[in-house]
Structure formats: C-alpha cells, structure tokens
Amino acid sequence: MTSLGRGASVALTDLEKSYDRVAAVAGVSLDIRSGEFLTLLGPSGSGKTTTLMMIAGFETPTAGDIAIDGTSVVGMPPYRRNIGMVFQNYALFPHLTVEENIGFPLKQRGMPKPERAKLVGEALELVHLPGYGGRYPRQLSGGQQQRVALARAIVFKPRLLLMDEPLGALDKQLRENLQLEMRRLHADLGITFIYVTHDQEEALTMSDRIAVMNDGLVAQVGSPEDLYDRPSSRFVAAFIGESNFLPATVRGMEDDVVVAECEGAIVRAICPGRPASGDRVLLTTRPERLRFTDGAWSSSAPQNRMNVTVTEAVFAGERCRYMLQAADGTAMVLKEPSSAAIRRRAVGERTEIAWSVADTILV
C-alpha cells in the first residue's frame, strides 16, 4: 500500500445502476488517482451524474463496487463518507447566512465556535469573498453563490470533491473565470476532484484526465490531448471537438500506419489495431489540421493529400471555415487561421489539401 496523498483515490469496479431494469450506468470501471482532476464528460442520459451520485452515496449501486482509498464505501451513508460536493444550482441553505452555510459541515463535526469562525474566514478568503459572511444566499449573484458552495464543500478539508455541473447556470464570461479558479484551487488544495459536465470545452480546459461517457459506459479515458488527438471511437471523435469522417478501404500496413484508399487517393492513418486488407474503415481528422497546398506546401512530416472542391466559404473573424467536397462526394470541413496575407478561397474552386499522417486516426 502506498502512502496516502492529500487526495483520495477512487476505484470504480464494474459499477452498475438500473431503474426498473433500465440501465443508467451499465458497468463502469475507472481508477481515479490521488490528487487528480478527473472529469466525467458525456451527453445527458449518459450516466455521468448517476455515477457521481453513487460515489456521493445518494444512489445505491445495483452491482459493482466503489472503493475510496482502497476501502469499499458501498452501503456507507453519505454523511459518513467525508466527501465535499458542489451541486447544480448551488444548493445553499436559504435560511442560513453565508457564514452559517460554510460553517455547517464544521458544526456537524462538533467544532467549537471560535475555531469554526477562523476556518470559515479562511475559506471565504480562498474563494475571494471576504466580508460577505453576514449575507444571505439570495443577496448574492450566481457566481458568488457558486463560490460560497465551493467554500462550504472544502472547508472541512475533504480528500475528495465532487462537482455536478457547477457552472451550468452561469454566463460564458463568468464560467471561464471560475474554470480557471477551480484549476488554481485544485492545484492549491491537492485533493482529488471529480467533475461532471456535458461541456467539452470546460472538460478540456480543466481536467487532468477525462472519462467520456455514453449510454452508461465509459467510451474512452485519457488526457485532454489523448482524447482530442487520438479518439478511439467515432462517438468520442464527434463529441469532443469537430471531426471529419472519411470512409476508406484498407490496402495494407506499414509498421503502425495503415494504408487505405479513400476518395480515389491513398491515405495513411495511425491505427492501434491491425485491420485486414480490404476492410471498410472510417478515418477521422480535425478541421484545423487540414491545409490548402496550392500544389506546393510541403512538410518534413509524412502527409496525406487529396483533391477537393470548395463548396462554402465562411469568414468567422479569427478563422475562416471552408466546406469542401472530395472526389466522390464526402463533405469535409477545413479551418484556417485568418490573415490578410492569405488568399480567401472562392466557392467552386478546385484545389488540393494536405494534412499530417499523425493527425489521421482510424476509429
């Protein structure tokens, strides 16, 4: 057994939860490391919130196990788990002041008043709300309420903090500020964060690792870079960021690279498995990794090239977005950083595009 860090480790083993024989969580296994910022990302109904509620103790698993620091907590009531939790819409007690809200978990632990006041003060400092202790939640803005909820969830120094779409109700600007603040808080406290969201940008910005969930299962776990650059399935490629999908036929393998025929061109792609020659497969690539070559663009890295026709051109400020059509009709998107020095493409123009083999993934 390794020595315990400041954060708890959480192990989910074949976790299942069914309601009336309908599985909300259908067998989730996940190892969350001590001190990690892990995000459960997925569309609504993917089972991410149910998974979180089982870790918190508000839902009982139908099957499987949850272990915190190596000890199973299945059957342990939520008030004994010592886990901090931030809820959607904050769930601050409306009849208590900010101070009393933050002091609530300390009071439950029998801490005397003077000590409580000191810790509450420190927690308010930590979330940049000193002097707000005497107010009631309804007198605060949404962002301030969220900070109070955060302070209340960490004031008793839990080793694990659960967050259920905590920024969902806030506007974009505030959300971005609080995302950075949560990252900073995570680094300062060193405790384990499990964060639930359906917002992929939020997940990419904040997480050490992301578990993408779909239909009650974990579709893929990895760092934001892993998921973005090497999606393992069409679902992950489509859910995180924007992707082009190219149907192709496998023609052979060159070491770890698969050679496939696609739109009349030979395309090479990164491939974890070893598909057989003649297999029909799907290749994926990101729109911002495609370039117009104008017949000349070259790079030392191995590339794929393809002839396309521009079908739509949209100027979107920081970048230009082109809809392209390949030889046999597959639609693709190309995003190019905008610059007055770069020639804008006209609709109907026939041209060639290229992209790195490293940016082409077989899913």
Question: What length does the chain have?
Answer: 363
Least gap, CB of 28 to other proteins (angstroms)? 21
Contact 296, 281 (CB under 8 A): no
**Binding-site size, other proteins (CB under 8 A):** 26
Q: Is 140 in the site for other proteins (CB under 8 A)?
A: no
Letters for 298-337 (x = contact with other proteins by CB under 8 A, - = none) are ----------------------------------------
Q: Specify the residue, 61 or 287, whose C-beta has the smaller distance to other proteins.
A: 61
Q: Is 239 in the site for other proteins (CB under 8 A)?
A: no
Q: Specify the residue, 108 or 249, whose C-beta has the smaller distance to other proteins.
A: 108
**Distances in whole angstroms, Cα of residue 242 to Cα of each of 98, 171, 234, 312, 334:** 42, 23, 11, 17, 10
The C-alpha atoms of residue 206 and residue 186 are separated, in whole angstroms, by: 10
Q: Is 112 in the site for other proteins (CB under 8 A)?
A: no
Q: Which amino acid is at 191?
A: I
Of positions 13, 29, 89, 325, contacts other proteins by CB under 8 A: 89
The C-alpha atoms of residue 308 and residue 170 are separated, in whole angstroms, by: 42
Least gap, CB of 147 to other proteins (angstroms)? 15
Q: Specify the residue, 64 or 78, whose C-beta has the smaller distance to other proteins.
A: 78
Which segment (12-20, 102-110, 239-247, 292-300) binds other proteins by CB under 8 A? 102-110
Least gap, CB of 103 to other proteins (angstroms)? 10
The C-alpha atoms of residue 363 and residue 271 are separated, in whole angstroms, by: 8
Contact 272, 232 (CB under 8 A): yes
> Is residue 209 helix, strand or coil?
strand
Q: Specify the residue, 101 or 232, whose C-beta has the smaller distance to other proteins.
A: 101
Least gap, CB of 44 to other proteins (angstroms)? 17
Which segment (89-97, 221-229, 256-264, 292-300) binds other proteins by CB under 8 A? 89-97
Query: In what helix (H) or strand (E) does residue 152 lie, and over which residues does it extend?
Result: helix 142-154
Contact 69, 217 (CB under 8 A): no
Least gap, CB of 89 to other proteins (angstroms)? 7
Least gap, CB of 22 to other proteins (angstroms)? 18
Q: Is 138 in the site for other proteins (CB under 8 A)?
A: no
Q: Could you give phi then psi for residue 274, rounded to 5 degrees?
A: -130, 85
Contact 281, 249 (CB under 8 A): yes
Q: Is 84 in the site for other proteins (CB under 8 A)?
A: yes
Q: Specify the residue, 110 or 337, whose C-beta has the smaller distance to other proteins.
A: 110
Q: Specify the residue, 158 or 287, whose C-beta has the smaller distance to other proteins.
A: 158
Residue 82 gets which letter from DSSP?
A: -
Q: Is 104 in the site for other proteins (CB under 8 A)?
A: yes
Contact 264, 330 (CB under 8 A): no
Other beta carbons less than 10 A from residue 159's beta carbon: 22
The C-alpha atoms of residue 337 and residue 311 are separated, in whole angstroms, by: 19
- Quote the tokens at residue 135: 């107010």
Which segment (28-36, 80-88, 211-219, 338-346) binds other proteins by CB under 8 A? 80-88
What DSSP line would sit under 40-100, residue for residue? EE--TTSSHHHHHHHHHTSS--SEEEEEETTEE-TT--GGGS--EEEBTTB---TTS-HHH
Least gap, CB of 217 to other proteins (angstroms)? 25
> Is residue 202 helix, strand or coil?
helix
Q: Which amino acid is at 283?
A: L
Letters for 144-183 (x = contact with other proteins by CB under 8 A, - = none) are --------xx--x---------------------------
Q: Could you give phi then psi for residue 62, rounded to 5 degrees?
A: -75, -35
Letters for 29-58 (x = contact with other proteins by CB under 8 A, - = none) are ---------------------------xxx
Footprint of other proteins (CB under 8 A): 56-58, 77-79, 81-85, 87-89, 91-95, 104-105, 108-109, 152-153, 156
